[in-house]
Amino acid sequence: MPSIEPIGNLQAIAPHIIVIITAIVALLLDLIPWSKRKGFIVAVSILGVIVAIIVTLLQFPLIKELKSPYFFYGMVALDNYALFFNILFLIICGLSLLLSSDYVRKMDINL
């Protein structure tokens, strides 16, 4: 069994942290009364997804330097397989943001 680092490395979950912070920022922007333009919130959300994709792509060279691909008591794995699916899910997230904002605009849904 490969060795497992108990405490972990925040760099292993950096894309997830970026997506969570982006979601919190988008929710807080939606609370502001002057932010009736939902396009700005969508743009901030897509920017956060793009930053998370870039951080994920920057993690590929780090895989070779790791002594163990497991972090947080084995709950997080950082390997090519995990990074591929991180990128895939982030692309799907960005596309769903684009499509949902267009749908809301076309259907004239007042949120």
Distance between CA atoms of 77 and 103, rounded to whole angstroms?
36
Both structure tokens of 1:
């069994």
H/E element holding 3?
A: none
Please write the tens of the pLDDT for every residue from 20-58.
Answer: 999 999 999 888 876 567 778 888 999 999 999 999 999
CA dihedral (65, 77, 14, 56) in degrees, to 10, reads 70
Q: Which of the residue ranges 17-26, 51-60, 77-86 would you say has the lowest mean pLDDT?
A: 77-86
